[in-house]
Amino acid sequence: MDVMCRTGSVLKFIGGVVNKAVSFLVFSVLDLVDFILCFAYKVADFCIEAEWRPCYCSPTKETITGSGAKILVSEQGGSKIVSLNSSKVQLEDISDTLYSRPSLVAEVSKLTVDELKKLKLDGSGTTMRTCKKIKKGSPRSSFTVNSIVVEMLQGKMVGQQLHHIPTWSDCDCKFCNSWTSSTKDTLFVKAQEPKDNKAREDVIFIHGFISSSAFWTETLFPNFSSTAKSTYRFLAVDLLGFGRSPKPADSLYTLREHVDMIEKSVLEDYKVKSFHIVAHSLGCILALAIAVKHPGSVKSLTLLTPPYYPVPKGEAATQYVMRKLAPRRVWPVMAFCSSLACWYEHISRTICLVICKNHRLWEFLTKLVTRNRVRTYLMEGFFCHTHNAAWHTLHNIICGTATKLDRYLDIVHSRLNCDVTIFHGKDDEVIPLECSYNVQRKIPRARLKVIENKDHITIVVGRQKAFARELEEIWNTASASN
């Protein structure tokens, strides 16, 4: 027995070393590939659309001045967008992981530039200072910002409407761009109401990253009991940038934008007063933000695989979460996929170009190969988004809220009386099971249910009937106790 344990330990150690060595080589090559793709896309964008499109790998900075604009104020550990207008000032968190993703190529470039700056400063006897203070008597403010934010917000600065025209690398089909023909600037919401239109309670469903409302409507909605269908109004939303919802090219897809759109499209349009929330993965962060903002309205909170990574003291929160979510390893496969999506702006854009822009072809081939035996509702969520939406949502929601989640969970624990239930698949390789245990430690009253032999998707898909019954039980218990 001891020999077998030692052999297993040795093999595990060797496997870990091999994984790290291969990962170092693979991601060193990917760093270079992403660097080359940066220039390739700049040329392609200029040739096809006659304009340069910004990217976050640019080392240049730009300065903007004036009022009525959005300005990125850089601070240690993060940045904030300041929106200035005649009536109010809004702050929107922007994750520094968007423009600070250290790679071998970037690190070498940065070290070289820093050394040259030091030599130049030593020779001139001057020192550089960032523009963090406003000069007295100056009628206009000046801030140093990342160039992409300036370019993306130029339209908003002059009062233009949302940019409805898809880029050449995005899908231009009617399904993906159905929002452009709508007169209402709201999210797509799939509502299922009782036949007599007299629902006693509302349930809001929020999907996860690169998904859509079909994740709920094609699995749970048909499997709720007749009693539940006559009692509840089900509201499943496509998040901003996904499915059939708007995909504005000038949006930074911040937490504020996502939450505001859900409030506008669901709570206000459907006149929702009190509600239950069911959320999956990234949607759990939005669910917590909504619950904290409407503490007296939430009857129950059901979280599936919440991505909560407690940040150790002294660590840069956003960078820590990015490395936990995307560890830059080739194995397991999901870690490799997460790393591609999180670390490489231009490689991930290429993946969107190949898959999302041509989703109709992939759906056709899937139906052809499977003889139409496989339903494609999961593909709808996976394919129907833009790279701009996925890239900013991933960084600004999962990474950018790293400093907020502790406060949200503390508020749910101390100020909200709603029932909290957590579900997590034991075989989930996208969000580790430890994340749900971390949430339960912050909210001791929360009930955690670990589902054997289920992963990030099959925690719902494949067990929708059982999960529908579990949700009905949660709602009935919450309603009885309120």
Contact 409, 308 (CB under 8 A): yes
The whole-angstrom separation of Cα 367 and Cα 365 is 5
CB atoms within 10 A of CB 63: 12
Active site residue 428: yes
Q: What's the gap between Cα 21 and its chain centre?
A: 30
* Ranges of H-type helices in 178-316: 214-217, 226-231, 255-262, 282-293
Q: Minimal CA–CA distance to 167: which of 92, 107, 250?
A: 250
| From 95, 169, 170, 207, active-site residue | 207
Quote the tokens at residue 396.
């600004």
Per annotation, catalytic residue among 258, 276, 392, 456: 456
From 95, 212, 265, 281, active-site residue: 281
Distances (CA, A) of 179 to 102, 128, 165, 242, 381: 36, 47, 11, 11, 16
Per the CB < 8 A criterion, the answer to whether 283 and 237 are in contact is no
Q: Known catalytic residue: 456?
A: yes
**Catalytic-residue membership of 281:** yes
Strands 232-237, 189-192: pairing kind: antiparallel
Joined together, the tokens standing for residue 438 give 């971390």
Q: Please name which of 82, 105, 106 lies closest in space to residue 93, comparing C-alpha atoms.
A: 82
Selected catalytic residue, list 31, 96, 170, 428 = 428
Check if the beta carbon of residue 391 is closer than 8 Å to that of residue 345: yes
Query: Among 480, 452, 482, which residue's Cα sits nearest to residue 466?
Result: 452
| Cα(53)–Cα(42) distance, integer angstroms | 7
- Asked if residues 205 and 278 have their Cβ atoms less than 8 Å apart, the reply is yes
Q: Which residues are catalytic?
A: 207, 281, 428, 456
